[in-house]
Amino acid sequence: MAPGPAPWAAPELHHRKPMIPSRVFLATLLAVGCSSPVAPDPSAFGARYEIRAEPDPPALAGQTLSVTLQYGGCSGNHEFELRHRMTSSSGADIWLRKTTPDQPCDMLVIERRSFVLSGSLSITPSLRLLGPEGTQFELRP
């Protein structure tokens, strides 16, 4: 019978490389590769409003976007700007920025508005409308 290590001897230690860097790399790679495009910062939408899908969802006819908007205020006809960003060579996201500030009145405005798409947006094959509350509408899939 061969003698074993002495009971007072230190246990044998093996140096292991930490796995954290490779795990972090893998998690980052998966997050970047599998995520959908990031919506604009909430401040990009301006003052509060919502895009309504009822009774008529947003629609694109030629170069004109028609959308039903809902917002609070003291009067209707608040100002909106059409904003966009290219997501690829053949796709773009568009959204509305409400430039009229929020108003401290209890009136609820629901109105159908139209916006004309500018040059390159009018011929972009894939177009998606983003809403401030996280909604998305595929205008051209």
Q: Is the pLDDT of residue 84 over 50?
A: yes
Would you say residue 87 lies in a domain?
A: yes
- Whether this prediction's pTM lies above 0.85 is answered by no
Per-residue confidence at 120, pLDDT binned at 50, 70, 90? confident
Q: Which domain holds residue 58?
A: 42-140
Q: What would the pLDDT profile of 86-99 be if each residue is shown by its tens digit?
A: 998 899 999 999 99
Would you say residue 83 lies in a domain?
A: yes
The residue among 31 and 131 whose pLDDT is bigger is 131
Report which DSSP code applies to 29: H
DSSP assignments along 100-140, one per residue = SPP-S--EEEEEEEEEEPPGGGGG-SEEEEE-TTS-EEEEE
Domain count along the chain: 1
Would you say residue 113 lies in a domain?
A: yes
Q: What would the pLDDT profile of 36-78 be if each residue is shown by its tens digit?
A: 455 678 888 999 999 999 989 999 998 999 999 999 999 999 9
Helix (H) or strand (E) holding 30: helix 20-34
Would you say residue 3 lies in a domain?
A: no
Would you say residue 98 lies in a domain?
A: yes
Would you say residue 125 lies in a domain?
A: yes
Would you say residue 12 lies in a domain?
A: no
